[in-house]
Amino acid sequence: MIHIGIVVQRYGNEVIGGAEALARNVGERLLRQGFRVTVFTTCARDYLTWRNEYAPGESILKGVTIRRFPVSRERDIGDFNRFSDEFFAAPPPTDGRRGLVGPDVPVTSDREAVPPGGRDEARWIREQGPLCPDLVQALVDAEKEIDLFFFFTYLYYPTVEGIRAVRKPAVLFPTAHDEPPIRLAAMGEVFRRPRAMFFLTRAEMDLVGRLFAPPGAMRLVRTGLDVRPEVDEGPFRRRYLLVAPYLLYAGRIEKGKGLEAVFDHYRALKNEAYVDLVLIGKKLMDLPAIQGLKYLGFVSEDVKLAAFKGAVLSLQPSMLESLSITTLESFSVRTPVLANRRCPALLEHVEMSGGGLAYDNEGEFLAGFRQLYGRPALRRAMGEKGLAYVQRYYSWDAVMKEIQAGISEVLEIRI
């Protein structure tokens, strides 16, 4: 029996996050397909603080063995953001080295010398966290029984240090987008060491190929979605007293998601249409006082799908997405998407599917809204195209078939 070790910064039913949900879904499905699966993760549940909330040690969730290790220190997100802003404003190393993190310089060390005119990359990775040296050591100790490691998300300490620590074959699910950390010199090893990388979109795969020309195999596996197109939005509307047509944003409500521009666009839109703007998800920023803007809080998966189903269209304003599950969820209930053109992954979804439109400024935002708001037949046609796209490329059967083929290729065996 092939034993897969899954490495991810957080894991659990209560954990909210795209990469973490992907790790959990892949692990549970690999188990059902006859693989042995062990998850190596931290005791953290919240990505802002990395506070230890789960008990350390071994546990079982839906048949999957989980080994949790305590995070060495919590993170103050305000302090980290200030440090990160200063860090990325400084010039990168100028002495020709690949960076401060490499085979001979572990990130756990506090004695790295910063090159002249450079930046302390090792410190940034420690501060980013979750700092958990015990997890990395556990990967080394478990190598004798693990056949293949799956690392989820390039960005965090367990992946950066874990990939450099293990000698067994490794597969990386980068969940990457074009952001400053991906250009750290330290990331060269993260992207070049894995035997293979599995990508969620063609845009993500193209980005990594351009930046790193990785020697390992590159495979587009995408991610799976449980499609339930026949959803009734009536109870959702009645529960939240939604009478007017509405636009929907679902996801983390925080700076960096493009919402500030959406609020400005919505103010302009209200001059020509009676339509609400509904937000659901975890709120991490203050919201402006705009008539018609309604924040409904964090909701269940069933309520979220009903919210998508009832919307005129859903909004995807972020420039920094490696996949965007919420775009696929909107498609899955036949609701068109108005997406930020500057995000390659979102643009790929709307162009390949025909299930949405893209915008780059207020004029295009308003034009896209007008095109869909006043033409219900077009909305229905786009909705059908979005659903067909999800069914073709994002069913779990199709995704797991690609992942199994990738495992066979890496281990050079026939499954």
Got the DSSP string for 97-108? -S-S-BTTB-TT
CATH numbers and ranges of domains, the chain = 3-75+101-224+396-411 (3.40.50.2000), 234-393 (3.40.50.2000)
- pLDDT tens digit string along 376-389? 999 999 999 999 99
- pLDDT tens digit string along 359-370? 999 999 999 999
Using DSSP's 3-state secondary structure scheme, residue 296 falls into: coil
Confidence label for 94 from pLDDT (cuts 50, 70 and 90) = low
Average pLDDT over residues 377-403: 95
Confidence label for 66 from pLDDT (cuts 50, 70 and 90) = very high
Give 28: exposed, middle or buried? Use CB within 10 Å, 0-12, 13-18, 19+. middle
95: left (phi over 0), alpha (psi -120 to 50) or beta: alpha
Q: 61: how many CB neighbours lie within 10 A of its CB?
A: 14
Per-residue 3-state assignment (H helix, E strand, C coil) for 35-62: CEEEEEEECECCCCCCCECCCCEEEEEC
- pLDDT tens digit string along 297-340? 999 999 999 999 999 999 999 998 988 999 999 999 999 999 99
